[in-house]
């Protein structure tokens, strides 16, 4: 398992190449912005029929991370479903799959702006959750310490010998950690955008996901 | 012979004209179901196309749409309207002429549908849009003739296929519709005639007198052109001389970036203050119109331009055409030259200005080809199915339709004549349900079958979205550029989104001939301020457009075999001698490969002279082997003559790269993952309606979700590899590649006759390759290596430096990848 080790708010964490966060001490795996059933919502709302395989793909990657880490606690950091109707209309096969993944471990759904209500899936539904020095919520708050959030789908780009390499990325400074989006059909917001630039402190770092997660000063 | 009515006769007489033979022939064949006229620009071609209409309407005035005129350019439609209005008003004919393009106000467009003019001038996209309305049968009622102008330009692209599908529809609405095509000289008129006519109707071809051969030569200068580069700055004084000696000069460039740089340099050297303008497709519309107006009024002595000023627009007294850079397509060159000197029967005059020494060789070869009458061009192949998918959606937008009737209509289009019913049904299924193996959202399908067996849109509101997506032109996503509000907020033009993303505040670049400083991005608009710098820091935008083919490879390699080159200027002959000295010149039957470091990367050039498609295919195959051999390839670019591959590790022994068994192994997976495929998928998925076009207004409101087409492609490949769109993607991508069998043959033929030369620097012959367009990235192990290397560097220097590029004193050429 390729990962980047780092310490945030005193917790020893690992950023996985897939975009998941692994906290070995708590056997906790955290993923953000799965946006399951996105293609269903798009078809329903615009008539555009995207390839309906993104839920399967996202769950496949999640299953692989769970198998590799043997996590005992899973936190889905909000926007797990593209909307509440999408959650309700998930095909039977995929519902079963989620249930299988949940078996034998604690599972927490944090509310996101896309899925602000309770879901028909097992597990605990919370607005936010505190664990040791860390607080897990969907959207970063202004006055945060030890906060782990998602929502922005951050990505970061590097220029190297004439090539620009852009990847979904973890962003963190001494106060907050923002996870990249984990879902297959999720776009990204550049770390040099105003909103991320304002949110993150000047000494923030970015960890680019991919086969070899790589840490750099956050590109601005 | 159909006699010209007296009124027309008199009008010709007052102008001092007599009817051209081909105009009379067109009149005689007014009732032919399809007719193709091939005539040089300035030969009264347009009037020839319209004469039967004017005569018919003069003799039997009537209401309603009579003739539809289609041109590839909006500007051309406006221009024709001007030219046609003259005879109509001078003869007092009861004929209303209007144009309809993307620029026409919505109120007039609505009125035109209810009350169409006698002659409507429009573009393929506007016509497709017209046929998407429910009232199309009323709008086109009684339509008698359709005139397709500059059909040679449309015929080589998907726009032509879309147009012909629309004509199929019109023909069903108006069975007696007569089709006329007007074309510049082409190498294969039969192919165009077949596309134009309703299949299997015949189509007669009329050849007008081609007029005197054009007078084309190469501009010789005292100063030698550089080894590499596309700016032709060395030729500025000589070009200024030519401008002084002529009335109006058009200066064509192959890319917008080159046009900008040349214009900037020309202006710096323009000591006499000659009125010179610039015109290209990325400039703001107002600015373009100002230049067009000044040109029509004869106020400009020269215009620096790109293809946007191409085709048969009549801009008045152009007496010289200058082509900067080797003509990438000989056919286009001859057509461009037709623009100069619009008087019939007077030779057109043109000068070629090679931008570097390799282009001197190309120019000489091109001139030979022109003299030999050998025009280039690729055969088109069968009609693309992504365009058909869009046509099905357009049909659905106009109302319920019967699939048998639609299929029957589609196969009357020449390019689709061999489309099987099964293929058609697959396209219909794609439009209706997405065509996925997993029927995930059948309840949301786009088209539904009604109880009466016909098909219709599930949600009628989808018609609006289909209309917004009409068209086959692949615009790269662009951002508007304007001056900052406190500097007036004036719009200047557009740049590619990718280019904008690479800018950091303080970067300077050229647009509309002026140097501007990048200030920032505001609501999807690039804000800039004026800057007094002498040289722009970043020297290019719109840099990924594909160059078209010259197909001059055989002539060029032949020339290389000579002992000496008396037909070339001395500087270029010396340059070839130098290549022979430091490396060697390519020979037929052998394969020259050069390897050297340059630009912080290891470069390898394979001089295969296999034509652009062949060299492109070679690039795909060799990078696969290089990735397997851990040579860390990063990308390649192909020309007609050579493939340049760059990577992180030096190639010491190229022979194993050509190991045929290893090439075969895993080839499909490699090709499927390649950037060429992804690029093609993006285009086809947009045309077929899977991805919505990124209209600026949609992006601004954020209402439209944008999806990375690469991710959609990867997902489809993984879970539904038999999907129709992947099949279409392969078919479309193969148009730009050659059979792998041919590359195998080449590898076998060359065998061990590989001449590999390792050097410590760029060779004369390789230098021009570094500015080629159409670079293809290879995303393999090299990317991870680069990332690690750059991260290590950044972390080491962090605290000192944020990620800012080092200051550069000379322009950096931002070629991607």
Domain range annotation of chain A? 3-217
Is A50–B690 a contact, with Cβ atoms under 8 angstroms apart?
Answer: yes
Q: In the structure, what pLDDT confidence band is assigned to residue B502 with cuts at 50, 70 and 90? A: low
Pairing of strands B643-647, B601-607: antiparallel
More confident residue, B159 or B349: B159
| DSSP assignment letter at B721 | T
Domain B215-371 -> CATH class: alpha beta
pLDDT given for residue B175 in this prediction:
95
3-state SS, residue B807: coil
More confident residue, B20 or B442: B20
For B616, residues 6+ apart whose C-beta sits below 8 A from its C-beta are B638, B643, B676, B736, B737, B776
Residue B248 confidence (pLDDT) above 90: no
pLDDT given for residue B807 in this prediction:
39
Which chain A residue has its CA at the smallest distance from B806's CA?
Answer: A159
As a whole number of angstroms, the distance between CA B569 and CA B755 comes to 28
* Residue ranges with strand state E in B582-735: 591-598, 601-607, 633-638, 643-647
Residue pair B576/B585 in contact (Cβ under 8 Å)? The answer is yes
Question: What mean pLDDT is predicted for residues B162-190?
Answer: 93
Contacts of B795 in chain A (CB under 8 A): 215-217
pLDDT given for residue B809 in this prediction:
43
Residue in this structure with the two tokens 């290893």, named with its chain if needed? B662
For residues B314-337, b (16+ Cβ closer than 10 Å) or e, as one string? bbeebbbbbbbbbbbbbbbbbbbb
Question: How far is the alpha carbon of A63 from chain B, nearest alpha carbon, in Å?
Answer: 17
Residue pair B277/B291 in contact (Cβ under 8 Å)? The answer is yes
Mean pLDDT over the full length of chain B: 84
Q: Is B599 on the interface with A (CB under 8 A)?
A: yes
pLDDT given for residue B383 in this prediction:
94
The long-range contacts involving B664-671, CB below 8 angstroms and separated by at least 24 positions, are B666/B624, B667/B621, B667/B624, B667/B740, B670/B620, B670/B624, B670/B627, B671/B620
pLDDT given for residue B342 in this prediction:
53
As a whole number of angstroms, the distance between CA B258 and CA B256 comes to 5
pLDDT given for residue B131 in this prediction:
97
More confident residue, B293 or B193: B193
Which chain A residue has its CA at the smallest distance from B460's CA?
Answer: A47
Give the pLDDT confidence of A179-214 residue by residue, as tens digits.
999 999 988 898 988 899 999 999 999 999 999 999
As a whole number of angstroms, the distance between CA B357 and CA B73 comes to 34
Residue pair B301/B266 in contact (Cβ under 8 Å)? The answer is no
Is B711–A208 a contact, with Cβ atoms under 8 angstroms apart?
Answer: no
Q: What percent of chain A has pLDDT over 90?
A: 77
Question: How far is the alpha carbon of B695 from chain A, nearest alpha carbon, in Å?
Answer: 15
pLDDT given for residue A133 in this prediction:
96
**Given this chain, do its domains B6-207 and B215-371 carry the same CATH topology?**
yes
Tokens at B142, concatenated: 């009684």
More confident residue, B807 or B189: B189
421-480 in chain B: CB under 8 A from chain A: 433-434, 436, 438, 440-441, 444-446, 458-459, 462, 465
Q: Is B83 on the interface with A (CB under 8 A)?
A: no
Of residues A40, A161, A208, nearest to B601 (C-beta): A161
Using a 10 angstrom Cβ sphere, with 0-12 exposed, 13-18 middle and 19 or more buried, the burial of residue A118 is exposed
Contacts of A91 in chain B (CB under 8 A): 440
For A57, residues 6+ apart whose C-beta sits below 8 A from its C-beta are A184, B715, B718, B719
Q: How many residues does chain B have?
A: 817
181-240 in chain B: CB under 8 A from chain A: none
As a whole number of angstroms, the distance between CA B316 and CA B49 comes to 21
For A30, residues 6+ apart whose C-beta sits below 8 A from its C-beta are A20, A21, A22, A23, A74, A75, A76, A77, A136, A148, A179
List, as one string, the DSSP characters of A115-127.
S-S--SSSSEEES
As a whole number of angstroms, the distance between CA B248 and CA B153 comes to 25
Of residues A49, A159, A184, nearest to B433 (C-beta): A49
Q: Of B91-105, B247-261, B740-754, which one has max mean pLDDT?
A: B91-105
As a whole number of angstroms, the distance between CA B613 and CA B185 comes to 25
Is B440–A219 a contact, with Cβ atoms under 8 angstroms apart?
Answer: no
Of residues B634, B707, B718, nearest to A185 (C-beta): B707
As a whole number of angstroms, the distance between CA A185 and CA A189 comes to 14
Residue pair A123/A107 in contact (Cβ under 8 Å)? The answer is yes
Is A49–B798 a contact, with Cβ atoms under 8 angstroms apart?
Answer: no
Q: In the structure, what pLDDT confidence band is assigned to residue B546 with cuts at 50, 70 and 90? A: very low
As a whole number of angstroms, the distance between CA B497 and CA B480 comes to 9
Residue B422 confidence (pLDDT) above 80: yes
CA-closest candidate to residue B616, choices B543, B674, B540: B674
Q: What share of chain A is helix, strand, coil (3-state, %, to 5)?
A: 25, 35, 45
Is B707–A50 a contact, with Cβ atoms under 8 angstroms apart?
Answer: yes
Question: How far is the alpha carbon of A125 from chain B, nearest alpha carbon, in Å?
Answer: 27
Tokens at B113, concatenated: 């549908």
pLDDT given for residue A169 in this prediction:
97
For B67, residues 6+ apart whose C-beta sits below 8 A from its C-beta are B50, B53, B118, B119, B120, B143, B144, B145, B146, B147
Tokens at B584, concatenated: 């060697």
Of residues B719, B798, B805, nearest to A53 (C-beta): B719
CA B207 from centroid of its chain's CA atoms:
27
**Most B-contacting residue of A51, A82, A183, A190 (CB-CB within 10 A), to test interface:** A51
Q: In the structure, what pLDDT confidence band is assigned to residue A217 with cuts at 50, 70 and 90? A: very high
Residue pair A201/A157 in contact (Cβ under 8 Å)? The answer is no
682-711 in chain B: CB under 8 A from chain A: 689-692, 704-708, 711
pTM of the model: 0.86
pLDDT given for residue B65 in this prediction:
96
Residue B404 confidence (pLDDT) above 90: yes
pLDDT given for residue B68 in this prediction:
97
For A70, residues 6+ apart whose C-beta sits below 8 A from its C-beta are A27
Give the pLDDT confidence of B671-730 residue by residue, as tens digits.
888 888 888 898 899 999 998 875 544 544 444 445 688 899 999 999 999 999 999 999
Of residues A52, A212, A215, nearest to B436 (C-beta): A52
Residue B325 confidence (pLDDT) above 90: no
As a whole number of angstroms, the distance between CA B23 and CA B39 comes to 10
List, as one string, the DSSP characters of B443-510.
GG-SEEE-TTS-EEESSTTHHHHHHHT-----PPPEEEEEE-GGGT--EEEEEEHHHHHT--TT-EEE
Tokens at B805, concatenated: 């590029």
Is B440–A40 a contact, with Cβ atoms under 8 angstroms apart?
Answer: yes
pLDDT given for residue B802 in this prediction:
40
Using a 10 angstrom Cβ sphere, with 0-12 exposed, 13-18 middle and 19 or more buried, the burial of residue B204 is middle
The size of the A-B interface in CB pairs under 8 A is 139
Using a 10 angstrom Cβ sphere, with 0-12 exposed, 13-18 middle and 19 or more buried, the burial of residue B86 is exposed
More confident residue, B815 or B787: B787
Give the pLDDT confidence of B41-70 residue by residue, as tens digits.
667 888 899 999 999 999 999 999 999 999
* Residue ranges covered by each domain of chain B: 6-207, 215-371, 385-468
Question: How far is the alpha carbon of B771 from chain A, nearest alpha carbon, in Å?
Answer: 14
Q: In the structure, what pLDDT confidence band is assigned to residue B817 with cuts at 50, 70 and 90? A: very low
pLDDT given for residue B549 in this prediction:
54
Using a 10 angstrom Cβ sphere, with 0-12 exposed, 13-18 middle and 19 or more buried, the burial of residue A102 is middle
Question: How far is the alpha carbon of A143 from chain B, nearest alpha carbon, in Å?
Answer: 25
Using a 10 angstrom Cβ sphere, with 0-12 exposed, 13-18 middle and 19 or more buried, the burial of residue A164 is middle
More confident residue, B36 or B732: B36
Give the pLDDT confidence of B638-676 residue by residue, as tens digits.
888 899 999 999 999 998 888 878 887 878 888 888 888
Q: In the structure, what pLDDT confidence band is assigned to residue B799 with cuts at 50, 70 and 90? A: low
From residue B146, alpha-carbon distances to A196, B53, B177, B782 in Å are: 56, 10, 7, 55
Is B791–A216 a contact, with Cβ atoms under 8 angstroms apart?
Answer: yes
3-state SS, residue B125: helix
Residue pair B455/B448 in contact (Cβ under 8 Å)? The answer is yes
Q: What percent of chain B has pLDDT over 70?
A: 87
List, as one string, the DSSP characters of B70-112.
E-S-HHHHHHHHHHHHHHHHHTT----EEEESTTS-HHHHHHH
More confident residue, B606 or B676: B606
| DSSP assignment letter at B739 | -
**Most B-contacting residue of A2, A163, A190, A197 (CB-CB within 10 A), to test interface:** A163
Contacts of B720 in chain A (CB under 8 A): 51, 53
pLDDT given for residue B283 in this prediction:
79
Q: In the structure, what pLDDT confidence band is assigned to residue B336 with cuts at 50, 70 and 90? A: low
Is B791–A47 a contact, with Cβ atoms under 8 angstroms apart?
Answer: no
Is B803–A52 a contact, with Cβ atoms under 8 angstroms apart?
Answer: no
Residue in this structure with the two tokens 């296999």, named with its chain if needed? B610
More confident residue, B801 or B622: B622
Question: Would you identify the CATH topology of the domain A3-217?
Answer: Purple Acid Phosphatase; chain A, domain 2 (3.60.21)
Contacts of B438 in chain A (CB under 8 A): 52-53
pLDDT given for residue B674 in this prediction:
85
CA-closest candidate to residue B209, choices B314, B315, B318, B346: B346
The region, left, alpha or beta by phi > 0 then psi within -120 to 50, assigned to residue B293 is alpha
pLDDT given for residue B812 in this prediction:
44
Q: In the structure, what pLDDT confidence band is assigned to residue B545 with cuts at 50, 70 and 90? A: very low
pLDDT given for residue B141 in this prediction:
94
600-619 in chain B: CB under 8 A from chain A: 600-601
Give the pLDDT confidence of B183-218 residue by residue, as tens digits.
987 778 899 999 999 999 999 999 988 777 778 889
The region, left, alpha or beta by phi > 0 then psi within -120 to 50, assigned to residue B119 is beta
As a whole number of angstroms, the distance between CA B310 and CA B315 comes to 11
The neighbouring-strand residues paired with B668 are none
Q: Is B816 on the interface with A (CB under 8 A)?
A: yes
Residue B579 confidence (pLDDT) above 70: yes
Give the pLDDT confidence of B109-165 residue by residue, as tens digits.
999 999 999 999 999 999 999 999 999 999 999 999 999 998 988 887 899 999 999
As a whole number of angstroms, the distance between CA B689 and CA B692 comes to 6
Tokens at B380, concatenated: 């088109």
Of residues B441, B601, B787, nearest to A208 (C-beta): B787
Q: In the structure, what pLDDT confidence band is assigned to residue B391 with cuts at 50, 70 and 90? A: very high
3-state SS, residue A143: coil
Residue B804 confidence (pLDDT) above 50: no
Alpha helices (H) in B278-420, listed in sequence order: 285-296, 330-337, 357-371, 385-397, 403-410
Question: What mean pLDDT is predicted for residues B488-509?
Answer: 75
Is A212–B784 a contact, with Cβ atoms under 8 angstroms apart?
Answer: yes
Give the pLDDT confidence of B442-474 residue by residue, as tens digits.
788 899 999 999 999 998 888 988 998 898 876
Question: What mean pLDDT is predicted for residues B77-103?
Answer: 88
Q: Is B17 on the interface with A (CB under 8 A)?
A: no
CATH, range B6-207: 3.40.50.300
pLDDT given for residue A48 in this prediction:
83
Q: Is B794 on the interface with A (CB under 8 A)?
A: yes
Of residues B436, B720, B786, nearest to A160 (C-beta): B786
pLDDT given for residue B658 in this prediction:
86
Question: How far is the alpha carbon of A46 from chain B, nearest alpha carbon, in Å?
Answer: 8
């Amino acid at each position: 398992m390729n990962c980047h080790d780092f310490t945030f708010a005193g917790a020893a964490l690992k950023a996985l190449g897939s975009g998941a966060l692994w906290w070995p001490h708590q056997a906790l795996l955290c993923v953000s912005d799965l946006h399951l059933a996105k293609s269903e919502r798009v078809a329903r709302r615009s008539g555009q029929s995207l390839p309906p395989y993104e839920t399967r793909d996202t769950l496949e990657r999640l299953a692989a991370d769970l198998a590799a880490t043997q996590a005992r606690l899973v936190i889905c950091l909000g926007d797990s479903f593209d909307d509440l109707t999408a959650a309700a209309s998930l095909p039977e096969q995929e519902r079963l799959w989620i249930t299988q993944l949940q078996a034998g471990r604690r599972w927490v759904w944090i509310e996101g702006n896309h899925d602000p209500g309770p879901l028909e899936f097992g597990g605990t539904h919370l607005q936010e959750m505190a664990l040791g020095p860390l607080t897990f919520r969907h959207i970063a708050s202004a006055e945060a310490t030890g906060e782990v959030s998602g929502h922005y789908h951050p990505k970061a780009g590097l220029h190297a010998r004439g090539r620009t390499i852009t990847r979904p990325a973890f962003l963190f400074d001494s106060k907050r950690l923002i996870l990249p989006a984990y879902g297959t059909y999720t776009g990204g917001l550049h770390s040099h955008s105003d909103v991320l630039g304002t949110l993150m402190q000047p000494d923030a770092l970015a960890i680019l996901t991919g086969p070899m997660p790589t840490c750099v000063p956050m590109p601005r | 012979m159909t006699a010209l009515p007296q009124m027309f006769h008199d009008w010709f007489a007052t102008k001092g004209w007599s009817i051209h033979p081909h105009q009379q022939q067109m009149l005689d064949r007014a009732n032919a179901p399809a007719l193709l006229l091939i005539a040089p620009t300035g030969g009264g071609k347009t009037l020839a196309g319209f004469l039967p209409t004017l005569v018919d309407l003069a003799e039997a005035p009537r209401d309603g749409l009579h003739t539809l005129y289609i041109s590839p350019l909006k500007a051309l439609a406006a221009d024709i309207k001007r030219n046609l209005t003259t005879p109509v008003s001078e003869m007092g004919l009861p004929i209303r002429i209007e144009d309809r393009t993307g620029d026409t106000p919505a109120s007039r467009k609505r009125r035109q549908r209810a009350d169409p003019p006698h002659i409507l001038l429009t573009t393929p996209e506007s016509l497709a849009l017209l046929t998407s309305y429910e009232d199309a049968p009323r709008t086109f009622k009684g339509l008698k003739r359709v005139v397709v102008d500059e059909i040679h330009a449309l015929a080589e692209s998907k726009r032509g296929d879309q147009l012909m599908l629309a004509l199929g529809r019109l023909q069903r609405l108006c069975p007696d519709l007569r089709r006329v095509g007007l074309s510049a000289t082409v190498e294969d008129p039969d192919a165009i005639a077949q596309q134009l006519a309703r299949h299997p109707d015949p189509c007669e071809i009329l050849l007008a007198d081609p007029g005197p051969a054009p007078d084309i030569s190469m501009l010789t200068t005292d100063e030698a052109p550089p080894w590499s580069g596309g700016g032709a700055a060395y030729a500025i004084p000589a070009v200024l001389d030519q401008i002084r000696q002529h009335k109006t000069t058009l200066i064509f460039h192959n890319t917008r970036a080159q046009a900008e740089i040349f214009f900037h340099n020309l202006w710096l050297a323009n000591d006499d203050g000659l009125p010179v303008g610039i015109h290209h497709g990325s400039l703001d519309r107002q600015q373009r119109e100002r230049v067009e107006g000044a040109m029509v009024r004869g106020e400009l002595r020269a215009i620096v331009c790109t293809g946007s000023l191409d085709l048969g627009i009549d801009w008045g007294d152009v007496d010289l055409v200058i082509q900067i850079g080797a003509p990438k397509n000989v056919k286009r060159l001859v057509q461009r030259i037709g623009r100069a000197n619009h008087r019939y029967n007077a030779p057109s005059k043109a000068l070629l200005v090679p931008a570097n020494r390799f282009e001197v060789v190309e120019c000489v070869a091109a001139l030979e080809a022109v003299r030999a009458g050998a025009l280039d061009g690729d055969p088109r192949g069968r009609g693309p199915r992504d365009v058909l998918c869009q046509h099905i959606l357009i049909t659905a937008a106009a109302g319920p339709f019967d699939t048998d009737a639609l299929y029957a209509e589609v196969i009357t289009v020449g390019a689709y004549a061999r489309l099987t019913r099964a293929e058609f049904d697959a396209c219909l299924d794609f439009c209706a349900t997405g065509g996925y193996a997993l029927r995930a959202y059948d309840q949301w399908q786009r088209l539904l079958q009604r109880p009466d067996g016909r098909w219709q849109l599930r949600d009628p509101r989808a018609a609006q979205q289909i209309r917004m997506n009409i068209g086959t032109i692949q615009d790269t996503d662009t951002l508007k550029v304007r001056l900052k509000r406190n500097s007036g907020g004036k719009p200047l033009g557009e740049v590619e989104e990718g280019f904008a993303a690479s800018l950091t505040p303080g970067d300077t670049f050229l647009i509309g001939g002026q140097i501007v400083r990048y200030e920032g991005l505001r609501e999807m608009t690039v804000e800039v301020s004026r800057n007094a710098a002498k040289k722009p820091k970043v020297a290019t935008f719109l840099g990924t457009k594909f160059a078209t083919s010259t197909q001059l490879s055989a002539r060029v390699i032949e020339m290389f075999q000579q002992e000496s080159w008396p037909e070339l200027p001395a500087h270029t002959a010396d340059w070839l001698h130098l290549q022979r000295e430091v490396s060697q010149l390519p020979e037929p039957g052998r394969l020259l490969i050069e390897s050297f470091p340059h630009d912080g990367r290891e470069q390898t050039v394979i001089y295969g002279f296999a034509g652009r498609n062949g060299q492109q295919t070679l690039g795909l195959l060799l990078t696969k082997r290089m990735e397997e051999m851990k040579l860390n390839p990063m990308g390649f670019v192909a020309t007609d003559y050579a493939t340049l591959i760059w990577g992180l590790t030096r190639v010491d022994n190229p022979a194993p790269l050509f190991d045929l068994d290893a090439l075969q192994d895993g080839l499909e997976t490699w090709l499927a993952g390649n950037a060429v495929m992804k690029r093609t998928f993006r285009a086809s998925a947009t045309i077929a309606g899977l991805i919505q076009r990124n209209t600026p207004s949609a992006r601004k409101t954020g209402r439209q979700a944008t999806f990375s087409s690469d991710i959609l492609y990867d997902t489809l490949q993984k879970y539904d590899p038999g999907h129709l769109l992947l099949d279409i993607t392969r078919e479309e991508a193969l148009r730009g590649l050659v059979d792998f069998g041919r590359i195998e043959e080449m590898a076998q033929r060359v065998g061990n006759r590989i001449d590999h030369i390792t050097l410590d620097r760029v060779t004369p012959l390789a230098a021009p390759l570094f500015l080629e367009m159409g670079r293809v990235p290879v995303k393999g192990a090299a990317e991870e290596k680069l990332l690690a290397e750059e991260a290590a560097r950044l972390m080491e220097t962090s605290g000192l430096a944020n990620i800012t590029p080092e200051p550069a004193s000379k322009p950096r050429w931002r070629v991607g990848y």
